[in-house]
Structure formats: C-alpha cells, structure tokens
Chains A and B, each alone.
Chain A
Amino acid sequence: MAAESPVPAIEKLKLLGKKMVDEIDKGESPTFETYLHSKGNIIFDENLGYLKLGDKREVRKFLNIAQSRTFMQTIAIANKTKSFVEQGLHTSIRGLYYQLKFSLGEDVDESLFEEQSESNALIEDLEVALGVKREDLNLTTDRKGVLAGPVVIRDRFAGEEILIDGRKQGRSGWMIPSDVDNGMEIVKTDAKYVLVVEKDALWQRLNEDRFWEKEKAILITPKGQSSRGTRRLLRKFADLGLPIYVFTDCDAWGWYIYWTMKTGSMNLAYLGRDFSIPEAKFIGVTMSDIKKYEFLEKLTIKAKEIDIKRAMEMMEYPWIKAHKQWVEELKLVVKTKKKLEQDALQGQRLTFVGEYIKEKIKNKEFLP
C-alpha cells in the first residue's frame, strides 16, 4: 500500500518486471498482486482515524481471459511511467493515455487503450500494487490549492533549484503543485498552525489582512475540494507537528471537504495515510455559532434538500458517529433546515473573519 517507502518507484517497477520474467521462465503466467480497492475492502481504522484498504489481495494474471487485456494495459502503464521517471519528464494521466493509445498491430483491430477511463482505473491498480503514488510515477494531477505564510520550500525542477518563501507571494499566493514529494522539501517554518479556508474569496480576504503574519499561520485554500497536492502538503505540515484547522461553510459540501481531508474518501481509500489528516480540527462555521454571534441569525440561508440528506447520511458514518458534537451539529441542521456560509461572517465588518478565527483558536472551540 501507499505507505511511505524507502524503495524508489523506479526500483519497484524493475522488480515487477523481473518477477514476471521469473514466472515466465518457470513456464507460468506472469502475475502481479494488488489489493482489492472495492468497497468490500475499504475499512475505517478507528485508531488511525482514516479510511484505508483492508487485507484482501488479488493476483492479476495475464493468462486469465477476464484479466488478460487489463493486465497487458497495466504493465504498459508501468513501463511507460518507468520511462517518464528515467527521462525526468512529467505528464498528466491524459498525457499518459495519449502515449498509450495506439493499435496493437497492423492486422489487429484493437488499440492498447480505447478510452481514458480504462487507463485511469489501472493507474490506481498500479499505485496499490507497487505501493507508490502516481506522483512518484511522474504523473501530474491538477493543481488547485494556494498558500501564503511563514514557510520556505525548496523546489528542484526542470534543472533549476529555487527557494520559495511563502511570505513573499503577494496577492495571489503560491500555487501548490501536484507533486510536493519528489524534488520538493520544506526547508523551514516558524508557523504555529495551518489554517485551511474552503473558499478562495475568504482566503484573499485574510491574505489582505496579513492574517498569516499576525497569527504566524500558514494560510491555505484548497478552493473547494482539496487536490492531491494540497492534501499531501497538509499531511507534511501535520507531520511537522503543526495543528491543522479547517474553516468551511456550514453545509453538506463544506463538511464533505473537511471529512475528505481528515479521513480520506472511499474513492481514495487506497491512498491511506499519505493523503489523510486525522489530526485536522474543524473551526467552523457551525450552527452553534448562531447562538454566539446573534447577527448570524439573519444571515442563514435555507438548506437545500441535498444538505439535509447529506447531514443525515453523515450522522451514520462510523467515523462521524463517534463524535457527539458532530452529531449534535448535524441534527441541528436537519432540525432547523438552515445553513450558513463562511462569507456571512463578513456581514458586520470585513475584518471580523480574522477575529472569529483567532477567538475560536484561542478558546479551542473546535469540532473534532
């Protein structure tokens, strides 16, 4: 599984090839072993606090008619990404797909890949089988998160090495790349915590207030659902011992963003610990805030059906059910049928957002 591994991806790819050659020498079908990443093999580890794959393994065989084509395709991806790593070139999974979309032969009416959806699923298989991340295979993903704050990061890229200072990124901040592991390291930081703000608009507001400077905080917005790169970076900050506070809307989407960041998701359970931050804490906005800040009462908006439905579902998730405060919060949503956006905190005055956060952190008013 995708636990951090001392063995570089390139070596794992070579080993995979050698193992198959050994099998062929013995007159056997080439195989590789992977973990099932179907629902039945996804478990929530209560002690660790994130979703991960269970122990159910599966041996994929070339000489199994049901697996033959996908086997060949997976190995093709393995070999292609090996060449990417060797050449030090990166591409997206779409780029990979185009590299592998070719006919299997002049007299064969079949392509190695027909649809990108085929290759996407097999990349996951390969990640799980080798215990590597796609980023380790020089496959890039979309960048989305933005950072500002007291941190210095070294970036070795395209034959150049630069130091990035999070305090000197101006109004736009530093765009978090898709891969923060390979050729990238955190040089130093004197931040006290990391604040994740769901919406870019609020991040810009706080950046303008130089919140990160006043609070010695790293200010990050995932701009909605967090990208792989953002989650990896948050994991690294958490590993450095920095508390991670998350600030989202009080609605289904906001909670979903928080919980995916914290425990991972069903879809990405195969990534396990590398992409989850069980230590993260939820700052708000919460329904209980309305009691505390009366002006918010008038700024609630009607919850949509999806919000109510989502809230009811979330109450049943074992990892949420375990937290009484969350259940209470969710019940309140179901009862009042209201929701509250983080933007509403600007209702009285624009700088209130920063004050709100400071106060919450000071008083340790978090949801788990």
Chain B
Amino acid sequence: MAEMAENFREYSITEFFKKNAQMLGFSGKIRSLTTIVHEYTTNSLDACEEAGILPDIKIKIEETGEERYSVRAEDNGPGIPSKLVGKALGQMLTGTKFHRYMQQRGQQGIGAAGCTMYALITTGKPIHVVSGHKGKIFECDLSVDLKTNEPVVTNSSEREGELRGLVVRGEFSNVKYDKGQYGAYEYLKRTALANPHAQIELTDPEGNVFLFPRSVEQVPQRPKEVLPHPLGIDAHDMLERAKASESTRISSFLQASFSRVSADKVKELQELVPDIDFKRNPNTLSWEEAEKIVKAFRRVKWVAPATDSVIPIGKEQIEKSLRNILNPEIVAVVERPPKVYKGGIPYIVEVGIAYGGNQKSSIMRFANRAPLVFDASACAITEVVKNIDWKRYGIKDFENEPVTVFVNFSSVYVPYISAGKQAITNDEETMVEIKNAVFEVARQVERHISGKIRERERETKKQTFVKYISQLSSDIAGLSGEKKELVEKKLAEIVEGKYGS
C-alpha cells in the first residue's frame, strides 16, 4: 500500500511537471526563460523583504549553445542555511507558501525548485548554489531525484566568509532569450517598476548591462497572513483547509479558519446544513459537504472583511519608479481605497500613467507587484484600458503615443483566469473598479497634457512673433520716422510680457 502511494507520488511529481509545464510557465521557449528569471527574482525579493533588506538583484543570462542558456541570479538577501538549501531549491511542492492565505507575488511554491527540475530535464545538469548565511558560505551542486522528489546535493563545501546572499546558477535548454515584450528584459523592467525599493541589474546574452535603479529607500510592509472571509472561498479551498486543520470539530474549524465566523454564525450555518454534523472532525469533510457549506456561507449575512491585509505599492512609490525608469514628461498615479469583491475578498487597484519621453505605448499589468507579461488579450486590465476613449483624455492615438498605463491589482486572492496566473478574470465588479481608477488618472493626465500643449503653443507663438519683430520694426520705423531700435525694443518687451514664460 505504502509502496503504491510512493509509486503514485513518483509518477505524479515528474508527470505533474511535464503535463503541467504550461500551467507552471514552462511553455514556449521565450516564456520558459522569462519564467526562470521570474522565479529567481521573486524568490530573492521575498527573501530580502522578509529579512527587511533592500533587494539588490543581479541577473546574468549567457548563451551556452543553441537554444541553451545559463541563468545566474544573485541577491543580497539573508541566504539560506546550508541544511535547507536542498529543500528550498530542490523540492517541489514543499514551499511554505502553498497554503498560506496572504498577499503573495504569485508563485506556488514550485518556483525555484521547478527551475532546478527544468534544468535537469532539459540539460541533465544540476544547478550550482552559493549561499552566504550568517557568516558562513555554503556552496554545492543541486539536483532532484525524480523518483523520490528528494533534493540531491553534491560537491558541497562550507567555509567562513562575509558574503551574504544567494547565488544560483543553472543551465537550461529549449529556451530562448528575447528582447521583446515577453522577454526577460521587459519582465525585469516591469518588476523594477512595481518594486521601487529593489535595484535590479540585467546582463543580457550580448553582454549589455541594464540597471533599473532603486527609487525608494524603504522596504515595503510585509503582508499579513489572514483568515479568509467566508465569502472569499470556494469548495476546493475549503476542503484543503479542512484536511490540514488541527481542529477536532467542524464547528471549531470554521471559527478558527475563517474571519468573521462567530459561534452564533456557526449555529446559523448548522441550521442551513442540518445533514452535516458540525461535531465531526473537519478532516472527514467530503467535497460535496464542503460545497454545501460554501453555498450556505452565501446565505448568511457577514461583516465585510478587514481590508488591512491588502498592501498596495503606494502612490508616491509608483510615481517615483515611473519617473525613474521610464523618464516620461508626465506622471499621474491613483491609489484607490480598498474594495471588496464577491462580498469577501478585499483588493486595491492602483493605476499610474506615464506620458511622453522615449517610450512605446504599453499596458503594464501587475498582480501583487508581479508583472503579468503573458495572456494580455485575455486580461480584464487590457480590456478596460483598450476600451477607454483615450482621445477624450488628450491621447489622440493611444497605440502610437509614448504612453504607459500601469495597473497593479493587490489582493490576498487575485482572481486569475487560469493557473498560469498571467491574466485577471474579466469580472464585472473588479472591472468597474479598474475602469474608475484608470478614468481618475486619465483625467489628471489630460490636464497635464493640455497644460503641456498650451505651454508649447505659447512657446511657438512667442517664437513666431520674435522671429518677425526685427523686420516689422524696421518697416514701422520706415513708415513713422521712429528709430528702429526703439520700436524693436518695445515690441520685444510686449511679446515677452504677453508670451514669456
């Protein structure tokens, strides 16, 4: 029996990866490379933030063969204790984040380990890890035993040293570096935009070094782990939680695992689902029962969830990073107050518009600070932004003007369209909120743009008048007998007075 389970597991892990490569971001050569960069970068950001360190991340991509690249990711984070290196970077589905109900950047705990496995599958090579943690430097090669899902550490060594942080280097095949909107460069640029506290450097395969400098010197507040609100959960989540629960009764499980669930509310629920005995152990809950309870949740009146679990990037932070990285002429940002959708899930929408300068028209989508690079056409944010009549806001030709629309959706539970986590569902409620946010910023931008246009017109007028003053003055002088210099001086004064800045 145990052997079967073992076999099953062995089958599931490798097959799981292969079958779900797409879901995990390893589909398509360009996307696979971007996903690898994404996983390492996100890990580093999280590790630094948890340790209260301003992240300093360096990514280096080198071409090592045909459709074969090595990716080196270095951070200044706390590093990983030598004992945990294997588990942290080589074991699938063990991440501490998988069942946590808190605002996350969007990985599933499969992140860096998934990359280790991808390296193994495509090149057969282990990854190389250097971890500087608390005065010790641990170095090793790391691979995964596909049969046991156990990390395999080889060539390890440990020495004293002042290095702090983590360096991971892996070699991957069947991947491709791309300079376009789906490539690592664009991904890192957007990551830097949404994480103004981080400094990110990229060395591309041609040896070009791009630095996205830090815009703010403050580590963002860490999101809190919170209990989900009854209206923000589905049967699957409910079952996951019930299975993992240490409560002995369903009644206490409900109170302990969800916010706003009091003893009175449990009674109310029990009356709605009399056939489920709330005295039972929650571990015994079936899918059908979980579904029934979730349905019952919707028939009870709840106090709205607390919204303090949602941590936005912040208006000023976005403003600074948009200015810093895109160098636009105009920046406007709106941070909307927290909203709740489906009655149970708090979220915050932030929108920034950067106009002018040397940039292409682009819609930059983010969920919890993580750039959503793929599946743009399926995303609610894209739909909202594209459907706006930009002409009304002084942007005559949105597709061809130097304008970036930055939208960040922050929530404990981001309504992604699929497990690929690259697009937000076009749900009516959240779309209206996104639309209102974009409208609000667009109005501000419109004022700036029309101001700029007026300014330019004023300047053009002035230049025209100034150009003609000399000729006109000599003719007025010729007609009137007045001195040209005098006429010219006075005319210049009039023009300066009326059209000078």
**Chain A residues engaging chain B, CB cutoff 8 angstroms:** 13-14, 16-18, 20-21, 24-25, 27-30, 62-63, 65, 68-69, 71-72, 75-76, 78-79, 82-83, 104-105, 108, 110, 112
Contacts and interface: CB of A to CB of B under 8 A. Distances in A.
B475 A76 contact: yes
B472 A63 contact: no
Nearest to B472: A72
A17 B476 contact: yes
Contacts of A72: 468, 471-472, 475
Contact of B470 (A71, A78, A104): A104
B451 interface: no
A325 B482 CA distance: 59
B491 A24 contact: yes
B235 interface: no
Contact of A14 (B470, B471, B481, B493): B481
Contacts of A28: 494
B497 A82 contact: no
Contacts of A105: 467, 470
Given A27-B494, A63-B465, A21 B472 contact: no
A69 B468 contact: yes
B497 A27 contact: yes
A27 B491 CA distance: 8
B476 A20 contact: yes
A251 B498 CA distance: 59
Given A20-B476, A75-B475, A76-B472, 19 more contacts: A13-B479, A14-B479, A17-B478, A18-B479, A20-B479, A20-B480, A21-B487, A27-B490, A27-B494, A29-B494, A30-B476, A63-B494, A69-B464, A71-B472, A72-B472, A72-B475, A104-B468, A104-B471, A105-B467
Contacts of B464: 65, 68-69
A63 B470 contact: no
30 contacts: A13-B479, A17-B479, A17-B481, A20-B476, A20-B479, A20-B480, A21-B476, A21-B482, A24-B476, A24-B491, A27-B497, A28-B494, A30-B476, A62-B491, A63-B498, A65-B461, A65-B465, A69-B464, A69-B468, A78-B479, A79-B475, A79-B476, A79-B478, A79-B479, A82-B478, A104-B467, A104-B471, A108-B467, A110-B467, A112-B471
B480 A68 contact: no
A9 to B, nearest CB: 12
Contacts of A104: 467-468, 470-471
Given A21-B487, A65-B464, A76 B471 contact: yes
B301 to A, nearest CB: 65
Contact of A78 (B471, B475, B491, B495): B475
Contacts of B481: 14, 17-18
Most buried by B among A16, A27, A63, A108: A63
Contacts of B482: 17, 21
Nearest to A77: B475
Q: Which 6 A-B pairs have the closest CB atoms?
A: A17-B479, A17-B480, A79-B475, A79-B478, A72-B468, A75-B475
Contact of A62 (B460, B470, B472): B472
Most buried by A among B464, B471, B498: B471
B479 A68 contact: no
Nearest to A110: B467
Contacts of B475: 72, 75-76, 78-79
A24 to B, nearest CB: 5
Contacts of B467: 104-105, 108, 110
Contacts of A25: 490
Contacts of A65: 460-461, 464-465
A16 B468 CA distance: 18
A24 B494 contact: yes
A24 B491 CA distance: 6
A107 to B, nearest CB: 10
Contacts of A18: 479-481
B394 to A, nearest CB: 21
Contacts of A83: 478
A108 B465 CA distance: 13
Contacts of A21: 476, 480, 482, 487
Contacts of B493: 27
Nearest to B480: A17
Contacts of B490: 24-25, 27
Interface string B299-312: 00000000000000
Contacts of A16: 479
A206 B103 CA distance: 109
A17 B476 CA distance: 5
A65 B474 CA distance: 20
Interface string B123-152: 000000000000000000000000000000
B480 A14 contact: yes
A112 B491 CA distance: 18
Contacts of B494: 24, 27-29, 63
Nearest to A82: B479
A272 B497 CA distance: 42
B488 to A, nearest CB: 10
A69 B467 CA distance: 10
Contacts of B487: 21, 24
Contacts of A27: 490, 493-494, 497
A75 B491 contact: no
Nearest to A28: B494
A17 B467 CA distance: 20
A212 B415 CA distance: 105
A82 B494 CA distance: 26
Nearest to B498: A63
Contacts of B474: 79
A24 B477 CA distance: 12
A167 B494 CA distance: 62
Contacts of B477: 17
Contacts of B472: 30, 62, 71-72, 75-76
Contacts of A79: 474-476, 478-479
Contacts of B470: 104-105
A122 to B, nearest CB: 13
A68 B497 CA distance: 17
Contacts of B465: 62-63, 65, 68
A42 to B, nearest CB: 29
A14 B475 CA distance: 11
Contacts of B480: 14, 17-18, 20-21
A78 B491 CA distance: 19
Nearest to B475: A79
Interface string B440-472: 000000000000000000001100110110111
A25 B497 CA distance: 14
Contacts of A29: 494
Nearest to B494: A27
A82 B480 CA distance: 11
Contacts of B498: 63
